Structure 1
Amino acid sequence: MTDDALFTRVDQLLTTQLQGVLATQQHSHPYTSLMAFAHTPDLRYLVIATLRETQKHANLMRNAEVSFLVDNRTNAQIDYEQAVAISVIGHARAIPEADLGQFLAIYANKHPKLEDFINAPACSLLRIEVSSYRVISKFQAVEVLERWARRPVPRHRR
């Protein structure tokens, strides 16, 4: 599949799903949380919201590296052939004040029932800067979209 086709496939799944599973690290152990999310049209960021006094927020402040799983399974046998899962790899960070309005709008547009939650003083809106999307379909076929992967800058010899 071309990168453009894979981009479209990722965008469509992220658009149709409301929630995913955030994986963080609590010390040396994985910690998962079901989260509502939104994404930017360029797929560069996912947007999540959590209360500051939660374990997941504490984990994110200690280690920003995350994985976020989104899928369209129906919990039926047909899922082995038709379900698609996307494992998003990236870094979660606080949103700079200058960009906060834009990300709040993206999140609130997808989750209007959570508007009071995201505007609460105890809530923290975060963005996951995506380094790659791993798209799994037909149970074990894997495709990778790494449009924003951080690559080392080549060093030129003098």
Structure 2
Amino acid sequence: MKTFFESQPHAVLATQNGKAPYASLVSFASNEKLTYLLFATPKATRKYSNILENPSVALLIDNRKNTKEDIQEATTVTALGRVEQIEDFERSIMEKIYLMKHPHLADFLNSPKTAFLKIRVEKYIVVTHFQRVVEISVYSLHINYLHL
């Protein structure tokens, strides 16, 4: 999964405000152990206000090419978890991780109008070949294979 994440610069973040879900495109990066996914967002956005109200999120990473073959050939990974603030003691290392993947976002990341956040991943759901589903619990390292 690490190689897959490195190959994909963007993902779709799903948030919820208590009334309706909301999806947004974000630039993301992951830490070495894939326990955290990092992203930045302007504070004056719907996704940020939704996160403040409900920190439970889903992040969809995929490699589709927008072709008819995608339904059989694309891989999708959904990360389920909770958004947390990045603590002062870890910020410099998290910034390095994020900016190694997205150096063009340095000014955006360091703006006082930007929130730099991490998702503490609880579970990954990996779908390949349309219906081959694998669930990976991050903290217990328990893997379930589901064939639908």
- For structure 2, the 5+ residue unaligned runs are 141-148
- Select the residue among 68, 75, 88 that pairs with 1:97: 88
Q: Is 1:132 the counterpart of 2:123 in the alignment?
A: yes
Count of residue pairs brought into register by the alignment: 140
Q: Is 1:61 the counterpart of 2:44 in the alignment?
A: no
What is the RMSD of the two structures over their aligned residues, measured on CA atoms? 1.0
Cα distance in 1 for residues equivalent to 2:98 and 2:77: 19
Cα distance in 2 for residues equivalent to 1:82 and 1:137: 7
Superimposed CA distance per residue, residues 66-123 of structure 1 (whole angstroms, 9 cap, x where no aligned partner): 0000000011122122210001000001101111111111111100111110011111
- Select the residue among 16, 21, 31 that pairs with 1:25: 16
SS in 1 for 2:125: strand
Higher normalized strand content (fraction of residues): 2
1:62 maps to a residue whose letter is E
Superimposed CA distance per residue, residues 21-71 of structure 1 (whole angstroms, 9 cap, x where no aligned partner): 000002221011000000001000000101111111111011100000000
Cα distance in 2 for residues equivalent to 1:107 and 1:13: 16
Cα distance in 2 for residues equivalent to 1:116 and 1:82: 36
User: In structure 2, what is the equivalent of residue 14 of structure 1?
Assistant: 5
Higher normalized helix content (fraction of residues): 1
Q: Which has the larger radius of gyration?
A: 1
User: In structure 2, what is the equivalent of residue 76 of structure 1?
Assistant: 67
2:108 maps to a residue whose letter is F
Which ranges of 4 or more aligned residues in structure 1 deviate by more than 2 Å? Answer: none
Using the size of structure 2 for normalisation, the TM-score is 0.91
Post-superposition shift, 1:11? 1.3
Cα distance in 2 for residues equivalent to 1:78 and 1:31: 27
Cα distance in 2 for residues equivalent to 1:15 and 1:83: 16
- 8 Å CA contact 2:12–2:60 kept in 1: the answer is yes
Cα distance in 2 for residues equivalent to 1:48 and 1:99: 14
Superimposed CA distance per residue, residues 106-143 of structure 1 (whole angstroms, 9 cap, x where no aligned partner): 11110011111001111110000000110001111100
